[in-house]
Amino acid sequence: MVQQVTSGIKISVETNFEGTFYKNYKIHFAFGYRVTIENQSKDSVQLTSRFWKIKDALNNTEIVEGEGVVGKKPVLRPGESHTYSSGCLLSSPFGSMDGYYNMINFTSTKKFKVIIPSFKLSAPFAIN
């Protein structure tokens, strides 16, 4: 698990390998990840959007941007947390992801970014 705190918001990420499959004559490696967003600040905040950079070992990079996370824009009061699961496909058995969440502080009405720490994706059978 990787963790990082930005502006009082703690991000924790756990990953798992889901398996391989063929699509359009090409092998794909499926990974799942579970993110917990914990508000350790004294203010209520809301996650409004996300930005992900997904890289594989073959130098492919995919950018994913969008509203909220898995269809939600969670509001977190001090001490509250929100956990969600998602996944991605890579063309290689190794890769990494990082990014940030755009959030708003309800007390100051200021928008801010919360860093999602870089985490590795690796198929257990491919580890050296």
Residue-wise DSSP of 22-60: EETTEEEEEEEEEEEEEE-SSS-EEEEEEEEEEEETTS-
Mean pLDDT, range 79-92, rounded to an integer: 96
Q: Is residue 126 part of a domain?
A: no
Q: Is residue 128 part of a domain?
A: no
Neighbour tally for 93: CB within 10 Å: 19
Q: Is residue 116 part of a domain?
A: yes
Longest dimension (CA), the chain: 52
pLDDT exceeds cutoff 70 at 127: no
Question: What average pLDDT is seen over the chain?
Answer: 95
**Tokens linked to 14:** 């756990």
As for how many domains the chain has, the answer is 1
pTM: 0.93
- Could you give the count of Cα atoms lying within 13 Å of 41 in the half-sphere of its Cβ? 23
pLDDT exceeds cutoff 90 at 125: no
Nearest to 9 by CA among 71, 88, 74, 66: 74
Q: Is residue 125 part of a domain?
A: no
pLDDT tens across 16-66, in order? 999 999 988 999 999 999 999 999 999 999 999 999 999 999 999 999 999
pLDDT-derived band at 128 (thresholds 50, 70, 90) equals low
Residues of the domain holding 102: 2-120
Higher pLDDT, 127 or 29: 29
The CATH number of the domain holding residue 53 is 2.60.40.1470
